[in-house]
Amino acid sequence: MVSSTIPIVLASRSLRRMEILRREGVAFQSVEAAMDDPATPPQGDPQKIAIEMATAKARCVAANHPALCENAFVLAADTICHSQGECVGKAETPDEARRILMQMMDGHHTVVTGVALIRRGVLRTWADHATVRLEPVDEKSLSEYVKSEIWFGKAGGYDLEERRRAGWIVHCDGDPDTVGGLSWKHVKTAMAEWPH
């Protein structure tokens, strides 16, 4: 079992991922990966793409910050929505946000979060999945949300917990933290089973 005193470097500046770790009482340092993170993901297998993106982020931070990461767990994640056969990323304009949200409200979609964990050159990767259904909202609610720009930087144009607090009906089959960008319970298990 790995000691809980081993430092964690989160290869992300995602507010939601940091919020999940803080909620769990996890001490960490956050370092953004100096790499291109396209708003629109490539098309293909969402699990493979999410794991590849998470791995690239973890490796980038580990390589660029060797002293900080020398004995630490370097943790990275990438979240993709998959809807109607398409990998859906983050909206960059209000019109795109509206289109993506309308797509997310048209039946179920899958949220895939790829995770990469590196320590001392050892890499472990996996993907967590959740199925989500956003109930359609009225035009006024949708327009106000699009105008607010709360959707910016969020895969699929929404944050599950934030939208639930706002009164939207969001069904989630799976770990809500997977939708939020990081399932801590799986990370914790992986660290506990880490080779010495």
Q: Over the stretch 30-74, which tens digit does the pLDDT of each residue have?
A: 999 887 666 566 778 999 999 999 999 999 999 999 999 999 999
Q: Over the stretch 12-33, which tens digit does the pLDDT of each residue have?
A: 988 889 999 999 999 999 999 8
Task: Specify whether domain 8-192 bears CATH 3.30.930.10.
Answer: no
Do 174 and 108 touch, CB atoms closer than 8 A?
no
Catalytic residues, by residue number, are 78
Q: Which of 87, 83, 78 has its CA nearest to residue 46?
A: 87
What whole-number distance in Å separates Cα of residue 132 and Cα of residue 61?
31
Q: What is the pTM of this model?
A: 0.88
Q: Over the stretch 127-180, which tens digit does the pLDDT of each residue have?
A: 999 999 999 999 999 999 999 989 988 888 888 888 999 999 999 999 999 999
Going from N- to C-terminal start, the domains of the chain cover: 8-192
Taking the CA atoms of 61, 12, 125 and 68 in sequence, report the sign of the dihedral they define. Answer: positive
pLDDT at 21: 94
